[in-house]
Amino acid sequence: MSYYSLSFSTATEHTPMPVRIIRVNPDDHAAPRKAVEALQAGGILIFPIAEGYIVGCSATDETARRRLCEVTGVAQRDLRYLAASREQAARLSMPASISVDPIPLALMRAADLALAVTTCRPGQAPAPTAQHVVFILGDSIDLVLDAGAARPLMAAAVR
């Protein structure tokens, strides 16, 4: 049998969807309205922290958390939780770190919710660019906040 006769098509029909990307400046300390709306609607976002890019959703949305786990392959117990303040962390039923990274901090303040986060692959470091995460996760992501290649933004709460 020749390899030339093999088909590389998938068993399921999938029409690739465009991934929405919003360019952000971490120094602005502002969250784009579309990102806040996506989080409040149960969306999954890619965004930068000091170490690189991670994936997250609303910590209080069970459906979004389940979808985040399916997309990244992480177990629910291995999700990390970020909050913008002690008061926001106290509203969660799970332990949360207080974030100091400008992008997630702005998102959590604007949306008034904590985040469940993970890297795009369980047990690996955050990706150096948003494009790396999109390459791995494809169009299963609802929105990308792209601040360019990873650079030391501030000390991060997620390790």
Answer whether 147's CB lies under 8 Å from 49's CB: no
Answer whether 145's CB lies under 8 Å from 133's CB: no
Answer whether 147's CB lies under 8 Å from 26's CB: yes
CA distances from 110 to 29, 69, 96 (A): 11, 24, 18
pLDDT at 11 (0 to 100): 57
Long-range contacts (CB closer than 8 Å, 24 or more residues apart) made by 104-109: 104/47, 104/49, 104/56, 105/29, 106/29, 106/30, 106/31, 107/31, 107/35, 107/36, 107/39, 107/45, 107/47, 108/82, 108/83, 108/84, 109/31, 109/84
Rg (CA), the chain: 16
pLDDT at 38 (0 to 100): 95
Q: Give me the tens of pLDDT residue by residue for the chain, a chain 159 residues long.
A: 344 444 555 556 667 777 889 999 888 888 899 999 999 999 999 999 999 999 999 999 999 999 999 999 999 999 999 999 999 999 998 999 999 999 999 999 999 999 999 999 988 999 999 999 999 998 899 999 999 887 654 343 343
